[in-house]
């Protein structure tokens, strides 16, 4: 039993060091990728449900790894946040998204995800202002998406920063709404321009409670002057549901998955009729 215990222990240590080695490898690769610029933005269109036109696109980052191919953000954003690499990467994302959006029709906005770590370090406002100035994009066409995790940190400082960003003319959206544990509280703290209902609600439209919750969020949004986007709409039934509930906008695979720039430009050229 003692031997078995020691074996388990060795196995555990070997497993841990393999895990650490692969994490260190990933961190090293990520560091190099940030300086070499091995990233790509894809854009997921959103549909205005009233006007039935594309209203904007969300920029979603991918790592174009030289050996492994495209890597999704779930695999490297957490590490980029832990290591602080999200700061230079986030600055690149802001510049790149604004530069791309400046080539779109004037009515289209671009949404950029901003991580909590970017708020903790100085320079976010400067990066936003610089991305707008360099690209020539009108500030009201840029929307920054933040999650509750941003507000959970040092919310006084963050809220002051959000007000200064808003003063530049950019819009602020609350992402993944309903997944945190105190979502409602944050709505009192800052007047968001948009609330994005997390896709976990949209995928459960058959549950009776879901309809009540989505209806309540839409009504709340109306009272607070925020527009509502339903995320992760995959089926016509879900589209009908979010439309019926009064959401102003939808995003999801039913309209389009995130697209690389050439495909996005084709998509925008042939105005989608749903
Ligand atoms: P998010 O901001 O909530 O982005 C939406 C995610 O849902 C995207 O995954 C998108 O591809 C996926 N999605 C869109 N429509 C559907 C649908 O109909 N069904 C399903 N099942 N999924 C759908 P992605 O691109 O893998 O991004 C994952 C997360 O990584 C994002 O969640 C965001 O939190 C983070 N992320 C992505 N790009 C960036 C970035 O540029 N900066 C930062 N800080 N975070 C980013
Ligand atoms: Ca988002
Ligand atoms: Ca989201
Ligand atoms: Ca998310």
What distance in Å separates the CA atoms of residue 238 and residue 151, rounded to the nearest whole number? 30
Q: What is the ipTM of this complex?
A: 0.98
In tens digits, what is the pLDDT along the chain, a chain of 274 residues? Answer: 455 555 666 666 777 788 778 888 889 999 999 999 999 999 999 999 999 999 999 999 999 999 899 999 999 999 999 999 999 999 999 999 999 999 999 999 999 999 999 999 989 999 999 999 999 999 999 999 999 888 887 788 999 999 999 999 999 999 999 887 767 878 888 999 999 999 999 988 888 888 898 999 999 999 999 999 999 999 999 999 999 999 999 999 999 999 999 999 999 998 654 4
Residue 72 Cα: closest atom of ligand 1: 26
From the CB of 73, is ligand 1 less than 6 Å away? yes
Using a cut of 0.90, tell me whether the model's pTM lies above it: yes
At 253 the three-state DSSP class reads coil
- Asked if residues 89 and 33 have their Cβ atoms less than 8 Å apart, the reply is no
Q: What is the four-CA torsion angle of 259, 86, 139, 136, rounded to 10 degrees? A: -80
How is residue 106 annotated by DSSP? Answer: T
- Mean predicted lDDT score pLDDT of the chain: 91
Query: Candidates 73, 111, 255: which one to mutate for ligand 1, based on the most atoms within 8 Å of Cβ?
Result: 73
**Residue 77: CB within 6 Å of ligand 1?**
yes
pLDDT in tens, 89-144: 999 999 999 999 999 999 999 999 999 999 999 899 999 999 999 999 999 999 99
253 Cβ closer than 6 Å to some ligand 1 atom: yes
Half-sphere exposure in the Cβ direction for 87 (13 Å, CA)? 12
Please give the Cα distance from 4 to 224 (Å, whole number).
62
What secondary structure letter does DSSP report for 273?
-
Using DSSP, state whether 51 is helix, strand or coil.
coil
Return the closest-CA partner of residue 221 out of 192, 250, 241, 243: 192
């Amino acid at each position: 039993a003692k031997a078995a215990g020691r074996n388990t222990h060795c196995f555990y240590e070997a497993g841990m060091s393999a895990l650490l080695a692969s994490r260190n490898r990933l961190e090293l690769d990520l560091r190099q990728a940030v300086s070499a610029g091995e990233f790509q933005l894809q854009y997921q269109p959103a549909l205005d449900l009233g006007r039935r036109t594309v209203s904007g696109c969300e920029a979603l980052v991918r790592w174009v790894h030289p050996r492994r191919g495209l890597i999704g953000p779930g695999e490297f954003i957490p590490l980029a946040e832990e290591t602080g690499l999200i700061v230079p990467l986030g600055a690149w994302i802001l510049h790149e998204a604004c530069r791309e959006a400046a080539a779109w029709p004037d009515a289209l906005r671009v949404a950029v995800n901003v991580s909590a770590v970017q708020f903790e370090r100085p320079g976010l406002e400067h990066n936003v202002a610089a991305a707008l100035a360099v690209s020539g994009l009108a500030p009201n066409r840029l929307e920054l998406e933040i999650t509750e995790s941003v507000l959970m940190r040092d919310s006084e400082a963050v809220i002051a920063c959000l007000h200064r960003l808003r003063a530049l003319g950019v819009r602020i959206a609350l992402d993944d709404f309903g997944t945190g544990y105190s979502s409602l509280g944050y709505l009192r703290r800052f007047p968001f321009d948009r609330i994005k209902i997390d896709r976990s609600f949209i995928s459960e439209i058959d549950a009776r409670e879901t309809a009540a919750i989505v209806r309540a969020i839409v009504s709340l949004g109306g009272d607070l002057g925020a527009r509502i986007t339903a995320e992760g709409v995959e089926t016509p039934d879900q589209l009908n549901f979010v439309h019926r509930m009064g959401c102003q906008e939808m995003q999801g695979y039913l309209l389009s998955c995130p697209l690389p720039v050439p495909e996005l430009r084709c998509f925008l050229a042939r105005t989608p009729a749903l």
